[in-house]
Amino acid sequence: MGYQNNIAYLQQLTAAFFEEAYEQLIPTHTINVNVIAKDIDGDYSIVLFPYLKRFSTNPQALGDQIIQFLKAKKIPLQKAEVVKGFLNLTFESAFYDARLNEMFGEGSAFGSSASNGKTVIVEFCSPNTNKPIHLGHIRNILIGWSMSSILEFAGRAVKKVQIINDRGIAICKSMVAWKKLADGATPDSQSIKGDHFVGNYYVQFEKLFQKEYTDWQSGAGLDVYKSLKKEDESKEGFFKRYKNTYFNEYSQIGKEAREMLQQWESGEESVISLWKTMNGWVYDGFDTTYQALGVNFDKLYYESETYLRGKSTVEQGLVDDLFYRKEDGSIWVDLEEYGLDQKILLRSDGTSVYITQDIGTALQRYDDYAFDQCIYVVADEQDYHFQALFATMKKAKYSFSDQLYHLSYGMVDLPSGKMKSREGTVVDADDLITEVIAEAKANAKDSPNLQEITEEERAEVYNRIGLGALKYFILKVAAKKRMTFDPSQSVDMQGQTGPYIQNAYVRINSVLSKSDVDSITLSGEYTWSNQEKNVLILIDSFPRVVQESASEYDPSKVAHYAFDLAKEYHKFYHEHRILTAETDAAKVSRLLLSEVTGNVLKTSLRLLGIEMPERM
RNA sequence: GGCUCCGUAGCUCAGCUGGAUAGAGCAGCUGACUUCUAAUCAGCAGGUCUCAGGUUCGAAUCCUGACGGAGUCACCA
C-alpha cells in the first residue's frame, strides 16, 4: 500500500529542491513530470519552462541546479541532461530492481489505496420492470460495476445499489395485456425467460393500443384533428403529437391500464397479487442476466417502497414554504436561484412524478448508509433531471445534497443510428451475451492449449474470453462520450481488445508455470534493456492510473492502460528469451518482471469486471 | 430558440488540469511460427486535430466566434 510511483517521487524531489534553493513552496502536483517519448533519450523529464521567469533563470542553469540537488541526495541517476527546456533523467538500472521488488511485495494489492473511511453508494442498472435488459443497460451496468470496483480499490467502502422502477403505468400495461391475452400462461409454461415473457405483453399492449388509435384517427378522431390542429399541421404530425392525450382521455385500453394503476395505488388485492407475480417473473429473468454478466448488488431499492416517502417529503416541504402549490393543486419548486427552472414535484391529482421518488430514495439511502457520496450512473439524456434533483435537495437543505453526483454517460448508437424499440433495432442483452460467447468458442475450440482440460473448464474459458471482448469493447470508450456499437467489431479478438490483454496474461502464466525459480529478489546484477524499462515504467504508473480513473469517474483510463501494458509486454516477450535467457540474472529479472506484469494485468481487468482465463 | 455535450486517419477510439516530431486498433499491403501460447510481433501506407481569430516561450488541449452533429427544455421515466 505504501508504493510511491516514480512520477510522484520526482515531483516531490523537485518541490524539495525549490524549497531549499528558492525557499518557495510549489504544490507537488503542479510540477510537470512526464515519461519521455520513446525516441528521446531518458526515462522521465521535468518541464523547466514554468519556473524560468519566476526565478529569473534559464533552462540550463536551473536544470544544472536540480541535477546538483539530486546528486547531493544520492538519487541513483545514470544520466541527467537539459534538452530544450526539459530536464531529462535516466535512472540507474538497479533502481528499477528495487522498484520491482517493492511492487512484487505488494502482491495483488499493488495499485490500491488504504481505506479513507468514506462510504460511497453507486447506483446503476436501474431497469423498468416491463421489458428485458438491452445494450444500453449493459453499458450502464459495466460502467457502474467497474466504477464500483475502482473506487473500492482506491480506498472507499462501496455499496452497489439500484432503484427498480417497479410501479407505474408501464407495468400496468403488461398486466392488462396479460389478462386479456395470456389465458393463464406463465414463463414456465411457455419456456420463456421471465423478463422477455413480460416484455412481450408490453409489446402486445402497444399493438392493441396502436390499432385502437389508428382506427380512431379515421373516425371520431377526425373532428378532434380539425378542431385542435395547428395551422397547416398534417394529420400525421398532429396524431403523433396527440398520442399521449389520446391515451389519457379517449383510449379504452388506456383507461383499463390507468384504472389498474389506481387500483394498485389503493392496494386492491387482486391487482397487487398479479403485480407481484409478474414482477417476480421479471426479477428471475434479470437475475439470470446479471449472473451471466457476473455482476451483483448489495441492496435493491424499489420505487414502490420509496415513492410514498418522496410524497410526504414534498408535502412537508410545502408546509415549510420551500415549495409552492399552484391553483390546480400541483406542487412545484422554484429553482431559479440555481440557474434552473420551475419543476413539478407532485401532480395535481396528488400522484408522484419521477423526481418525487428520487427524493424519497435519496433520503432512504442516507438513512441506510450515511454515505459520503452517492453516485448515480444514468445516461446523459437525464442531465437536466439530476441538476434539478440535486438543486431541490439543496434547497430543502439536506446536509448531503452536495454529496450527490451524476455519473453521466453517453448513449449507445448502432452503425445504423439510434436504437429504437419501435423499429425493432434494440440489441437484447441476453442475445448479445450468447453471441459473444459463441464467437469466442468458434475461435478457441481448436486451440491446442485447451485439449487437456474438461469440457466444463473449456466452457468457462469461452465465457471469460467472450465477455472479455464485449466488456472491453464497451469500457474502452470514455464514459461521458456517446459511442457507436458495431456488433461485428464487438466480437473482435485481435488488436485493442479484451482477449489481446488476456492473451498477454496467459503467456505469462504459461512461462511462470514452466519456471523452476521459486522466490526472487533482485539486486541489480542485470542491466535492463530499453524495452524492459518500458514495461517497468508502465507498471510503476499503475497506481496513478487507478487514482485518475477514480477521481475522473472513468473506467476507460484503466482499460487503455491495460492495453498499453499488454502491448509492451507482448513486444518484450518477442524480443527477449525468458526461461532460456543469456544469464541467470537475466532470467530471474525477466521472470519477476513477468510476474508483476501479470498481476497488474489481472488486477486491471478485474477492475473492469473482466476475468482472466488461465489458458486460451 | 435557451442551456449542456461532442467534432482528431477510410472506420472505432486515445491524447484535452498547455510541453519535445499528434498516437493506437480495425480495414488495406509486405514480412516473421522445428525455438517460453502467432488471439502475437515487425514494417509500409494513411492527418488542414471542423473552420477563423485570440492568449504565450509553446495550443489538438485554454478563451471568443462561426459551422456541423447529439441531448434536453413534459402533470414521461
The pLDDT of residue A423: 80
Say if strands A412-414 and A483-484 run parallel, antiparallel, or are unpaired.
parallel
- The Cα A479–Cα A555 span in angstroms is 7
The pLDDT of residue A606: 98
Banded pLDDT at A285 (limits 50, 70, 90): very high
Mean pLDDT of chain A: 94
Please, where in chain A does CATH 3.30.1360.70 lie? Answer: 6-91
Distance B73 C1' – A345 CA (angstroms):
17
CATH, range A429-607: 1.10.730.10
Q: Which 177-236 positions of A have CB less than 7 A from strand B?
A: none
Residue type, A226: K
Q: Which 269-298 positions of A have CB less than 7 A from strand B?
A: none
**Which nucleotide's C1' atom has the smallest distance to the CA of A506?**
B37
Contact A119, A152 (CB under 8 A): no
Q: Mean pLDDT, to the nearest integer, of A396-411?
A: 95
Closest by CA position to A351, among listed A412, A400, A310, A408: A310
**Which nucleotide's C1' atom has the smallest distance to the CA of A30?**
B17
Residue type, A133: I
Distance B38 C1' – A494 CA (angstroms):
11
Closest by CA position to A601, among listed A515, A472, A514: A472
> A161 is written with which cell numbers?
445499489
Q: Which 245-264 positions of A have CB less than 7 A from strand B?
A: none
Distance B70 C1' – A501 CA (angstroms):
33
The pLDDT of residue A237: 76
The pLDDT of residue A196: 96
Banded pLDDT at A233 (limits 50, 70, 90): confident
The pLDDT of residue A241: 80
Distance B44 C1' – A391 CA (angstroms):
57
Q: Which 67-86 positions of A have CB less than 7 A from strand B?
A: 83-86
Q: Mean pLDDT, to the nearest integer, of A537-554?
A: 96
Lowest mean pLDDT among A233-247, A335-349, A558-572, A593-607: A233-247
The pLDDT of residue A395: 94
A404 SS3 class: strand
The pLDDT of residue A345: 95
Closest by CA position to A351, among listed A332, A335, A330: A330
> A596 is written with which cell numbers?
508483476
A241 touches strand B (CB under 7 A): no
Matching CATH number, A6-91, of 3.40.50.2300, 3.30.1360.70, 3.20.20.140, 3.40.50.300: 3.30.1360.70
Q: pLDDT digit string (tens) for A547-596?
A: 999 999 999 999 999 999 999 999 999 999 999 999 999 999 999 999 99
**Which nucleotide's C1' atom has the smallest distance to the CA of A581?**
B36
Question: How far from A310 is each of A262, A341, A346, A353, A362, CA to CA, in Å?
Answer: 18, 20, 10, 10, 9
ipTM topping 0.95: yes
Please, where in chain A does CATH 1.10.730.10 lie? Answer: 429-607
Quick one: DSSP state of residue A428? Answer: B
> A336 is written with which cell numbers?
431559479
Rg (C-alpha) for chain A, rounded Å, is 30
Closest by CA position to A204, among listed A246, A163, A173, A170: A173
Helix axes A455-475, A498-514, angle to 10 degrees: 130
Which nucleotides in chain B lie closer than 7 A to a protein CB? 4-6, 11-15, 17, 19-21, 23-27, 35-42, 57-58, 70-77
Task: Report pTM.
Answer: 0.96
pLDDT exceeds cutoff 70 at A22: yes
Q: Mean pLDDT, to the nearest integer, of A72-97?
A: 95
The pLDDT of residue A274: 96
pLDDT exceeds cutoff 90 at A242: no
Contact A429, A289 (CB under 8 A): yes
Distance B26 C1' – A436 CA (angstroms):
18
- Look up cell 544520492; give the residue: A74
For the ranges A28-32, A94-98, A203-207, A230-234, the maximum mean pLDDT occurs at A94-98
Q: Which residue is nearest to nucleotide B58 (CA to C1')?
A: A49
Contact A105, A596 (CB under 8 A): no
**b/e per residue A525-542 (b: at least 16 CB within 10 A):** ebbbeebbbbbbbbbbbb
Q: pLDDT digit string (tens) for A154-193?
A: 999 999 999 999 998 999 999 999 999 999 999 999 999 9
> A302 is written with which cell numbers?
424499489
- Half-sphere exposure in the Cβ direction for A126 (13 Å, CA): 19
Residue type, A58: N
- The Cα A485–Cα A429 span in angstroms is 13
pLDDT exceeds cutoff 90 at A350: no
Q: Mean pLDDT, to the nearest integer, of A121-147?
A: 96
pLDDT exceeds cutoff 80 at A1: no
Q: Which 440-459 positions of A have CB less than 7 A from strand B?
A: 440, 443-444, 447, 449
The pLDDT of residue A236: 79
Contact A201, A178 (CB under 8 A): yes
The pLDDT of residue A547: 95
Residue type, A1: M
Distance B44 C1' – A34 CA (angstroms):
30
Banded pLDDT at A446 (limits 50, 70, 90): confident
Closest by CA position to A122, among listed A392, A429, A405: A405
A334 SS3 class: strand
Q: Mean pLDDT, to the nearest integer, of A510-535?
A: 92
- Is the torsion defined by CA of A503, A508, A513, A514 positive or negative? positive
> A461 is written with which cell numbers?
474459458
The pLDDT of residue A5: 93
